[in-house]
Amino acid sequence: MRIALAITLSVFAASLAGAAGAVTTTVVDLPTRGTNVRILYLRPDAPVAPVANVVVWPGGEAFLGIQSDGTMITELAACNPAVRNRQALADHGYAVAVVDVAFDGAQWNYADMLEVVRYLQARDRVPTWVIGGSTATNNTVDLLARLPLANGLGAVFYSPESFSAEQAALITRPALVVHHPLDPRSRANPLFNALTSASVKQQVPLTGGNNSGCAGYH
């Protein structure tokens, strides 16, 4: 599924936006809850304005190990399809924030994610999409359900795992659910069915790849 999703993200980037030209990549430490959360921020250079903001919230153990020079040191960073395709997204006009765990070790914290969204939207008032899934599914659902509608947020849920159906029913934003039909851990169908209030929703099954390396079909 990792290969199929990576290809889908690349096609998504190429089809929805034109080439943006030069891209600047910076490492940003955002203050939150008395600690910091580190992001790798890719933004098309001026005068080009991003067509949208994309926040990448990885699953797994959530630790990417973003270094001060922008490199990442973990297997998760090498395997996560959205992380691997960050440059392709930025090259096609998207501002991308890849989110690491907070300095205090907290994973998928609502306050941290809110600060990331605020940071991006303070720079570009454009639609913002959160790409979150796997073990981050429930926290992504929680973010989408709780964040004020004025933030203009939508979500791409990939390889979804366990989540709160009650919270999912509160989401009134656009939502895309992406999964591999052979993923034994997938909760894609229950999640899609639980999104009863989403303004628009779509489910995309991806086939291909194999069940070895980088969590296989998951």
73-123 per-position pLDDT tens digit: 998 888 888 999 999 999 999 999 999 999 999 988 999 999 999 999 999
Domain spans of the chain? 2-205
What's the mean pLDDT in 153-159?
94
Give the whole-angstrom CA distance, residue 142 versus residue 148.
Answer: 12
Q: What average pLDDT does the segment 121-138 reach?
A: 93
Residue 21: per-residue pLDDT: 74
- The percent of residues above 70 in pLDDT, for the chain, comes to 90
Question: Would the pLDDT of 3 be above 80?
Answer: no
Look up tokens 């034109």; give the residue.
18
Query: What is the architecture of the domain spanning 2-205?
Result: 3-Layer(aba) Sandwich (3.40)
pLDDT at 19: 56
Averaged pLDDT for residues 189-195: 98
Place of tokens 């004025």: 150
Instruction: Give the integer Cα–Cα distance in Å for 140 and 145.
Output: 9
How far, CA to CA in Å, does 173 sit from each of 130, 150, 153, 217? 11, 11, 7, 27
Question: Which is more confident, 6 or 173?
Answer: 173
Instruction: Give residue for tokens 């395709």.
Output: 85
